[in-house]
């Protein structure tokens, strides 16, 4: 007699094998999603900083990039019709990502019309309002050990990198 379908034992073995595979793969999947969130948020900030620099050159005036817990903004130091240039809410990227600036109390950077970081009359990297400019933003998450940095050189160059990448690699700092 020919049997159609699966027996209960075959079905239970199949479900057990599937459950074991899922339990092995799930932690790796969660780690890769956490890394993707951190990298995505760092890339959004990187693009915002590059926009601020290019707008400073294009408008031939000082343009700032500032961030807070509510989001980030690119705007003109001197009020104009074209400002703010762009702003993004904190949900752009991820709320699960921690952002740490260097120096710690800085949350703003100003680019000059030449695309360089603004330097005050004493030769110090300060914003025109006297607040410190950040030189680095570090992006991290409690659910992954992966870190990403956005570095801003005094020349105005903005770079997204991984501190733990192999020296000399494209993503190396």
pLDDT tens column, 117-155 = 998 888 888 888 888 899 999 998 877 788 899 999 989
Is 117 within the bounds of a domain? yes
Q: What percent of the chain has pLDDT over 70?
A: 93
Is 29 within the bounds of a domain? yes
Token pair 């702003």: residue: 87
Is residue 5 predicted with pLDDT exceeding 90? Answer: no
- Strands (DSSP E) found in 32-135: 63-68, 71-76, 86-89, 98-102, 108-111
**Which pLDDT score is estimated for 2?**
64
pTM: 0.78
Is 64 within the bounds of a domain? yes
Under a CB-based contact definition with an 8 Å cutoff, are residues 135 and 151 in contact? yes
Is 53 within the bounds of a domain? yes
Is 166 within the bounds of a domain? no
Q: Where residue 134 sits, what CATH number does that domain have?
A: 3.55.40.10
Q: Give the domain range for residue 146.
A: 8-161
CA 1 to chain centre: 64
Is 63 within the bounds of a domain? yes
Is 56 within the bounds of a domain? yes
Per the structure, the count of domains in the chain is: 1
Is 173 within the bounds of a domain? no
**Which pLDDT score is estimated for 80?**
67
């Amino acid at each position: 007699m020919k049997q159609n379908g699966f027996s209960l034992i075959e079905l239970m073995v199949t479900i057990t094998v599937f459950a074991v595979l899922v339990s092995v793969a799930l932690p790796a999947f969660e780690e890769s999603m956490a890394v993707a969130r951190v990298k995505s948020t760092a890339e959004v900030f990187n693009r915002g900083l590059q926009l601020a620099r290019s707008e400073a050159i294009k408008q031939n005036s000082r343009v700032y990039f500032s961030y807070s817990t509510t989001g980030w903004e690119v705007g003109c130091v001197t009020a104009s019709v074209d400002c703010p240039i762009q702003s993004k809410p904190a949900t752009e990227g991820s709320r699960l990502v921690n952002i740490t600036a260097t120096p710690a109390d800085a949350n703003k950077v100003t680019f000059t019309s030449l695309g360089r970081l603004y330097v005050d009359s004493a030769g110090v990297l300060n914003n025109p309002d006297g607040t410190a400019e950040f030189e680095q933003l570090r992006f991290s998450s409690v659910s992954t050990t992966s870190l990403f940095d956005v570095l801003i050189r005094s020349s105005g160059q903005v770079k997204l990198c991984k501190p733990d990448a192999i020296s000399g690699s494209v993503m190396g700092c």
